[in-house]
Chains A and B, each alone.
Chain A
Amino acid sequence: MAERRAAVSGVTTALTTAALIVVVALPFVFIVLQAIFPDIGAGSFSRPFEHLGAVLKSEDFATQSANSLILGAGVVLTSALIATPLAAIRALYRLPGALIWDLLFLVPFMIPPYIATLGWVLSLQPAGYLQQLTGINLAGFLFSLPGIVFVMAMHTFPVIYFAASRSFAAIGARYSDVSRVFGAGPGRAFWRITLPLATPAVAASLLLVFAMTIEEYGTPAVLGARFDFDVLVTGIDTSLSDWPIDLPKAALLSLALIALSLAAFGFQRRIATARDFDVVGGKSTRAPQRNLGIWRGPALTLFALVAFVSTGFPLLAILATALSRTISGGLKPSNMGFENFRAIMTDSSGALSAMGTSFGLGLVAAIVAGFFGIAIAYVTTRGGSGRGRSLIDALAMLPNAAPGVVVALGLILLWNQPALPVTPYNTLGILVLAYVCILLPQPVRYTVAAFQQVNPSLEAAARVHGASATRTAWRVLVPLVAPSVLAAMLLVFTVAARELVASLLVAPVGTDTIGTYVWRQFDQGSIGEGMAVAFLTIIATTLVPLGILSALRKVERSGSSATNL
């Protein structure tokens, strides 16, 4: 019995490892090969390291690396300055409408950053909506380093907000109040207890923001192009798509970017796991929050301002453009109508097919990634051997450090090898590969966490009471992890359906996804139709998953209350 089980998990481990190698490892191997052997694209290992010196010494490499670092640091600092006070107020005081503010601060996650950035361009560019409404022209600010930092921080600050407020609240209830009994005033309780205990969680979120920032393509591409500000991501894109195409340079820039992200993620993981105290666990006490008193008004104003600027403003600009008959017509009632939405429905510019393609690809990617997640979680949490496990774990987390542009480069290098008998290149399959590779860490993380929460004694109990290994997995494990797996698949669907940079680089000729469609319309087509598609996409990819998740939660709740009876 034990032998058979070991054999099954051995096969599962081998299959999972093989699939991970093809989907994740090989593209990265080819980036490394390309960086070393400039002619690998022709299947040749000649002239190794010939390019290396030239690229490393080139001005681009130094500037773009420095710019990535500066941008990352700037966004981390700005996000922290915005998020920490908000988080402290939210966690420690009785804030009216607390849950609604939380929900509003989730919205920046729902809007793909490149779409929000297009909204900012429409608002702040010369003769944009802000100038039309107030006469103020902030184009100089928007197309500058502080402008990019600001726009990106508006997207990333919720990461810190949620990490810090959760941490502050847990500490407040369990540790900070105790210090009050022993004589600490509210200020000292915050400085001596809450802040030191929250530091690991907050620092981890800062590093996450750093990694998100240096991996982001859309915002630096749109804004930076106007004042010749290149970061590593846009540098890779330029080397890949602008003549003369320089694959070795793209590969080297990619390796630099991966190294930076890996450093950030490695550091983040160390902080998150190495802290020797678990502040969130333990008996949950209702945090007795304090009244804001006269600060109620100012606090609410601050929350409203941040919520409006981070989400309301870009969203309204997108909606306004989608509803404008002509861009030059401006914000006038006479210029408003549903022409753009009607035009989308006729599919004359390919909007409908782009949406169809993206939703279809998103669905396939979600299913593939979901199964991947389950297999990996099963092997890493329930399998036996140690070495295979850590290899799988490392492979599954590698894409964390790889932005879409790098994954796209790897796929191009791998699947264009002349020796390959068949290749998904120039088919929709390459997009599925790209999405699965980019997003794999999400379902893996969710599913592994779900598997870990299932106490092994639950499965042991099923086995003792007569269920086979397979039946145990089916009747006990699957029902318990299903909600998490489904949530992870929804996330994959949502992000894949709106993915931009990998789609720009590897989509088959003549195929548009939502991302590439909106991008191209903004560049040279009908901005109105582009924004209409963007708006519909935000609605569809936000409300549908939210609806499914809340329905799921209702089912879960009624299920659990039924079992409580």
Chain B
Amino acid sequence: MLANLKETNLRAAHEDAALAVRSLRLSYGPAEILRGIDLSLAPGKALALLGPSGSGKTTLLRVLAGLEAPSAGEVFVHGGCVAAPARGLFLPPERRKLGMVFQDYALWPHMSVAQNVGFPLEMQGIGRAERLSRAQAALARVGLEAMGDRRPSALSGGQQQRVGIARAIASGARTVLFDEPLSNLDRELRESMVDEIAGLVADLGLTALYVTHDHSEAFSLADEVAILREGQIVQAAPPEILVDRPANPWVAEFLRLGAVLSADAARAVLRDLAVPQMAKAVLLPRRDIRICGTSETSLRARVLRCLFRGDDYQLALALPDGSEIQISAASRIAPGQEIGLHIAPEALRWFDIPKRP
């Protein structure tokens, strides 16, 4: 009875969602790429899939787009089920009404910029005149209204990706998939494009799903971030929650939140601290660590490297147990020097899951 109720609630949730997957699995032969994924994204929200390479994030995106077929589970787009292998259901990509932005831009080299952007409209059977004006409008949104007649190859990487974005929004798709949209661009451009994309998505009220391996990109673009590891979601939460309360030591390390120590190491390092029962590991968040005199604290560290970053210095420190942590400092400290560190006991984040070696 309870199980049935849960089932009904879940189904209702999926029917409201812009994108959702249930118990999704995908294998190529013996290799399991996606191992049971549940996910739901409300209309108008932005979700980022974050994970190391090989975690299956791009595959998950391609399953949603219809470019890959899942082995099991269900995929919902705009409330409708588009893939359910158990029922032999598979809606091809062209019938899912999505926009998509690709890492390698994937602009068709034999078409002009305007033809590329107008292609989705052409597929909807929209006449030439309206197509051109809507393509032009989409190009204007990304600041490329003067480039319509050019070939994609005549454009710079950043311009090509803007064309890719224009193409994704030109059709009026309410949901846009971004497959590592910025990873082929250099850093400066990346930072300004993050701003642009966020503005565009908010302006148009789009539902957006980003795949990325860049934490800051995920944190700035998304309302919620799902962290993938080996084909499973290990934590899905708003960025602030992820940083505040990582679900396990692996997430803390992956997000480079600070030093993760085993409970035994913590006992040795933080001598006057009570280690909670059941605790197996602890995170020392680097944003809560302050440098202080060696006489004021029992926590000592040795400076390994000191890098000037323009605004501040980045220190690489070795803790007594051998683990490394990076914090920022206001002034230069010579490598080899020993410093004291202060951290409030309530800032520590304890895990009942052991740290992996």
Could you list which residues of chain A lie within 8 angstroms of chain B, going by C-beta atoms?
A: 174-175, 177-186, 188-189, 192-193, 196-197, 276-279, 282-283, 288
Tell me if A181 and B67 are in contact (CB < 8 A). yes
Q: Which of B90-105 contact A (CB under 8 A)?
A: 92-94, 96-100, 102-104
Q: Is B171 an interface residue (CB 8 A)?
A: yes
Instruction: Out of B92, B109, B119, name the residue touching A182 (CB < 8 Å).
Output: B119
What are the 6 tightest A-B residue pairs by CB atom distance, in nearest-first order?
Answer: A277-B109, A183-B123, A182-B120, A180-B93, A178-B106, A181-B100
Instruction: Out of A180, A182, A186, A288, name the residue touching B167 (CB < 8 Å).
Output: A182
Residues of A within 8 A of B106 (CB): 174-175, 178
- Complex alpha-carbon distance, A182 and B117, angstroms: 10
Residues of A within 8 A of B110 (CB): 196-197, 277
In the complex where A276-B153, A283-B104, A288-B67 touch, is A181 in contact with B109 (Cβ < 8 A)? no
Q: Is B151 an interface residue (CB 8 A)?
A: yes
Tell me if B94 and A185 are in contact (CB < 8 A). yes
- Complex alpha-carbon distance, A279 and B93, angstroms: 22
Tell me if B153 and A183 are in contact (CB < 8 A). no
10 chain-A/chain-B pairs, Cβ below 8 angstroms: A180-B67, A182-B171, A183-B120, A184-B94, A193-B108, A197-B110, A276-B153, A277-B109, A278-B109, A283-B103
Q: Is B68 an interface residue (CB 8 A)?
A: yes
- Contacts A178-B102, A181-B94, A276-B153 known; 11 new A-B pairs at CB < 8 A: A175-B106, A178-B106, A180-B66, A181-B99, A182-B94, A182-B119, A182-B123, A183-B94, A197-B108, A276-B109, A282-B104
- Complex alpha-carbon distance, A175 and B69, angstroms: 18
Q: Which of B36-82 contact A (CB under 8 A)?
A: 65-69
- B286-303 vs A: 1/0 string, CB under 8 Å? 000000000000000000
Tell me if A181 and B153 are in contact (CB < 8 A). no
- What's the tally of chain B residues with a CB closer than 8 Å to chain A? 28
Tell me if B67 and A177 are in contact (CB < 8 A). yes
Tell me if A288 and B123 are in contact (CB < 8 A). no
Q: Is B337 an interface residue (CB 8 A)?
A: no
Tell me if A174 and B67 are in contact (CB < 8 A). no
Q: Is B124 an interface residue (CB 8 A)?
A: yes
Tell me if B93 and A181 are in contact (CB < 8 A). yes
- Complex alpha-carbon distance, A277 and B98, angstroms: 27
Residues of B within 8 A of A189 (CB): 94
Tell me if B92 and A186 are in contact (CB < 8 A). yes
Instruction: Out of B93, B98, B104, B171, name the residue touching A177 (CB < 8 Å).
Output: B93
- Complex alpha-carbon distance, A217 and B104, angstroms: 48
- Complex alpha-carbon distance, A174 and B119, angstroms: 16
Residues of A within 8 A of B92 (CB): 180, 185-186
Nearest CB to that of B154 among chain A residues?
A: A276
Min CB–CB distance A180 → chain B (angstroms): 4
In the complex where A181-B67, A181-B93, A183-B94 touch, is A279 in contact with B123 (Cβ < 8 A)? no
- Complex alpha-carbon distance, A174 and B99, angstroms: 16
- Complex alpha-carbon distance, A11 and B110, angstroms: 45
Tell me if A174 and B123 are in contact (CB < 8 A). no
Residues of B within 8 A of A177 (CB): 67, 93
Min CB–CB distance B12 → chain A (angstroms): 28
Q: Which of B163-212 contact A (CB under 8 A)?
A: 167, 171
- B124-149 vs A: 1/0 string, CB under 8 Å? 10000000000000000000000000
- Complex alpha-carbon distance, A175 and B67, angstroms: 12
Tell me if A188 and B123 are in contact (CB < 8 A). yes
Nearest CB to that of B120 among chain A residues?
A: A182
- Complex alpha-carbon distance, A283 and B124, angstroms: 29
Residues of A within 8 A of B171 (CB): 182-183
In the complex where A276-B151, A277-B110, A279-B109 touch, is A181 in contact with B66 (Cβ < 8 A)? yes
Q: Which of B98, B99, B106 has the most CB of A within 10 A?
A: B106
Residues of B within 8 A of A277 (CB): 109-110, 153
Nearest CB to that of B97 among chain A residues?
A: A183
Residues of A within 8 A of B167 (CB): 182
Residues of B within 8 A of A188 (CB): 123
Min CB–CB distance A409 → chain B (angstroms): 44
Min CB–CB distance B18 → chain A (angstroms): 16
Q: Which of B68, B119, B124 has the most CB of A within 10 A?
A: B119
Q: Which of A174, A175, A178, A188 has the most CB of B within 10 A?
A: A178
- Complex alpha-carbon distance, A45 and B103, angstroms: 68
Min CB–CB distance A494 → chain B (angstroms): 37
Residues of A within 8 A of B67 (CB): 177, 180-181, 288
Tell me if A175 and B93 are in contact (CB < 8 A). no
Nearest CB to that of B103 among chain A residues?
A: A283
Residues of A within 8 A of B96 (CB): 181
Residues of A within 8 A of B93 (CB): 177, 180-181
Min CB–CB distance A187 → chain B (angstroms): 11
Residues of B within 8 A of A279 (CB): 109
Min CB–CB distance B336 → chain A (angstroms): 32
Tell me if A179 and B108 are in contact (CB < 8 A). yes
- B315-345 vs A: 1/0 string, CB under 8 Å? 0000000000000000000000000000000
- Complex alpha-carbon distance, A180 and B67, angstroms: 8
Min CB–CB distance A430 → chain B (angstroms): 49
- Complex alpha-carbon distance, A408 and B167, angstroms: 59
Min CB–CB distance B188 → chain A (angstroms): 23
Residues of B within 8 A of A276 (CB): 109, 151, 153
Min CB–CB distance A537 → chain B (angstroms): 41
Residues of B within 8 A of A180 (CB): 66-67, 92-94
Q: Which of B65, B92, B108, B120 has the most CB of A within 10 A?
A: B108
- Complex alpha-carbon distance, A179 and B107, angstroms: 10
Min CB–CB distance B207 → chain A (angstroms): 15
Nearest CB to that of A180 among chain B residues?
A: B93
In the complex where A175-B108, A279-B109, A288-B67 touch, is A181 in contact with B119 (Cβ < 8 A)? no
Tell me if B68 and A288 are in contact (CB < 8 A). yes
Residues of A within 8 A of B98 (CB): 181
Min CB–CB distance A299 → chain B (angstroms): 20
Residues of A within 8 A of B99 (CB): 181-182
- Complex alpha-carbon distance, A177 and B65, angstroms: 10
- Complex alpha-carbon distance, A207 and B104, angstroms: 32
Nearest CB to that of A291 among chain B residues?
A: B69
Min CB–CB distance A359 → chain B (angstroms): 44
- Complex alpha-carbon distance, A288 and B94, angstroms: 15
- Complex alpha-carbon distance, A196 and B110, angstroms: 7
- Complex alpha-carbon distance, A186 and B95, angstroms: 11
Instruction: Out of A181, A183, A185, name the residue touching B65 (CB < 8 Å).
Output: A181
- Complex alpha-carbon distance, A186 and B67, angstroms: 12
Min CB–CB distance A198 → chain B (angstroms): 10
Residues of B within 8 A of A175 (CB): 106, 108-109
Instruction: Out of B65, B109, B119, name the residue touching A179 (CB < 8 Å).
Output: B119
- Complex alpha-carbon distance, A279 and B152, angstroms: 13
Residues of A within 8 A of B120 (CB): 182-183
Min CB–CB distance B177 → chain A (angstroms): 8
Residues of B within 8 A of A193 (CB): 108
Instruction: Out of A178, A179, A183, A185, name the residue touching B124 (CB < 8 Å).
Output: A183
Min CB–CB distance B38 → chain A (angstroms): 24
- Complex alpha-carbon distance, A278 and B100, angstroms: 22
- Complex alpha-carbon distance, A177 and B98, angstroms: 13
Residues of B within 8 A of A288 (CB): 67-69
Min CB–CB distance B34 → chain A (angstroms): 15
Residues of B within 8 A of A178 (CB): 100, 102, 106, 108
Q: Which of A183, A282, A288 has the most CB of B within 10 A?
A: A183
Min CB–CB distance A188 → chain B (angstroms): 7
- Complex alpha-carbon distance, A186 and B97, angstroms: 15
Min CB–CB distance A289 → chain B (angstroms): 11
- Complex alpha-carbon distance, A283 and B53, angstroms: 15
- Complex alpha-carbon distance, A278 and B104, angstroms: 13
Nearest CB to that of B96 among chain A residues?
A: A181
Instruction: Out of B97, B109, B151, name the residue touching A197 (CB < 8 Å).
Output: B109
Residues of B within 8 A of A192 (CB): 119
Residues of A within 8 A of B97 (CB): 183
- Complex alpha-carbon distance, A186 and B66, angstroms: 13
- Complex alpha-carbon distance, A196 and B65, angstroms: 24
